[in-house]
Structure 1
Amino acid sequence: MDTREKILQAAAEMLAEDMAAKLSVRAVAARAGVSVGSLRFHFPTQRALQDSLLARIYEHLLPGDAIRDRTLPPRERLLNCLRQVLAPLGTREDARTAWGTVYRAFIEPEPTEEVRAAYLRFEREAERRVEHWLTVLEEEGAVSPGRHTRNLRFLLTVLNGLSVERALPSGESVLIAETETLNAAVDHVLSTGPAPPAGPARP
């Protein structure tokens, strides 16, 4: 294993043990058994290390780039991307475990700057993933420009809501309801026109 891989593996292990881990350069270097200078050579900043680690995690969970598979129409591609995000949750027990981990890492503890920074790292990566989909579709003319931010927040909210529903003891088929919601979300994003111009401020 080369030095870069050792560093990423050490950081991943630290994150698996504690989702709120700060992943400081010194701590990760010590865990990987490399010098701080060696780590800085591969990852000049702490942000570069965090971004590379999160990108690796998402590549593992969501292999390939479904949004660029032009053998399918834009609607099916966006739908597949949303399904890929929910896929790791699997069964209700998987979803409960995942949300339990999120609760213990980010909701239960006091909202310190360290906890907030750890959560924002995950949120940033999720935003980048969805923004990438929207950018590709906008370049193809499938999504109207001007609603990027609104569509981004909308899709992330839908994904968060559906992931919570998977963890709850629902009496109906979650997959049927989830499929209907995903279809409605995709239809909304692909049918929205450009954002209206900002009007005068209301009193």
Structure 2
Amino acid sequence: MPTGVALRDVREQLFDAAERVLLRDGPSALTSRAVTTEAACAKGVLHRHFADFDAFLAELVLDRIARIEDQADTLRDSAGTGTVGGNLAGALTEVFGPVAVAIVALVTSRDGLRTRLRQAQVAGIPILAEATAMIASYLVAERELGRIDADAAIDTLAPTLIGAGHLLFADRSGDPPEADAVRKVVDTVVGRS
């Protein structure tokens, strides 16, 4: 491995390398050696920036959670525009990109990572919990605008949409679902377009 070469934004380079390994080879292949090899840097680089590999993975997950929080702002701001079904289908397609689906599998397969995330006050299954909150926030905004029923059970609708969306996108080896399939699930759950 190269040494003495200055790396720019080491954290992002390592995160990007971890994502590539995760997508290509799955959660079981994600090791510190695989990440640093993919990032073309010495193994010590990862350990200079993170206490251990589970700390690195926890930071990766937290970084990806922050991206969902940004997406939540965009989705909430879309309330009152387009169609509810179209907005939700787009949000599900975006949130369940290959990296997010792979991260859910990673979290469920690594006890040490789940422990770190609990220590960081991350509740539920990361990515899925934040995506549920994102959908719920959007549905509240749409309910306030009168675009969904005033008595809509948002605490039921949001996790149902996330669960159904995750099942649609969870096959790592297959193609993502067609837009019509996502929209059909949304319309079935929400009952509106």
Compute the TM-score of the two structures, normalised by the length of structure 2: 0.51
In the alignment, structure 1 residue 10 sits paired with structure 2 residue 11: no
Q: Name the structure 2 match of 1:40.
A: 50
Unaligned runs of 5+ in 1: 90-97, 107-113, 168-172, 189-203
Q: Is the 8 A contact 2:168 2:182 kept in 1?
A: yes
When the two structures are aligned, how many residues end up with a matched partner? 155
In the alignment, is the contact (CA less than 8 A) between 1:55 and 1:125 conserved in 2? yes
Question: Equivalences for 1:72-91 in 2 at 5 Å?
Answer: 72-73=79-80, 76-77=83-84, 79-86=86-93
Q: 1:187 to 1:55 in 2, by over 3 A?
A: same
* Cα distance in 1 between the residues matched to 2:47 and 2:168: 43
The one of 98, 117, 134 equivalent to 2:109 is: 117
CA distance in 2, matches of 1:36, 1:30: 11
- Report SS of the residue matched to 1:21: helix
1:142-166 deviation digits (Å, cap 9, x = unpaired) = 4779853x333311233245558xx
Deviations along 1:31-74, one digit per CA (max 9) or x if unpaired, are 43152343318x99234333146458879xx978542224x428
Alpha-carbon distance in structure 2 between the residues aligned to 1:63 and 1:79? 15
Larger Rg: 1
Q: Which residue matches 2:128?
A: 126
- Out of 169, 184, 198, the position equivalent to 2:188 is 184
More divergent stretch after superposition (137-146 vs 24-33) = 137-146
Unpaired runs of at least 5, structure 2: 1-7, 115-124, 145-149
> Residues 11 and 58 from structure 1, CA distance in 2 versus in 1: closer, same or farther, beyond 3 angstroms?
farther
CA RMSD, Structure 1 to Structure 2 (Å): 5.0
Taking structure 1 as the reference length, the TM-score comes to 0.49
Matches within 5 A, 1:1-203: 1-21=8-28, 23-25=30-32, 27-29=34-36, 31-32=38-39, 33-34=41-42, 35-40=45-50, 45-52=55-62, 54-55=64-65, 65-70=73-78, 72-73=79-80, 76-77=83-84, 79-86=86-93, 116-117=108-109, 124-138=126-140, 142=144, 148=155, 150-160=156-166, 162=168, 175=180, 179-187=183-191
Amino acid paired to 2:9: D
* Cα distance change of structure 1 residues 56 and 31 upon mapping to structure 2, 3 Å threshold: farther
Letter in 1 for 2:190: V
Per-residue deviation, 1:115: 8.7
Task: Give yes or no for contact 1:7–1:28 (8 Å, CA) kept in 2.
Answer: yes
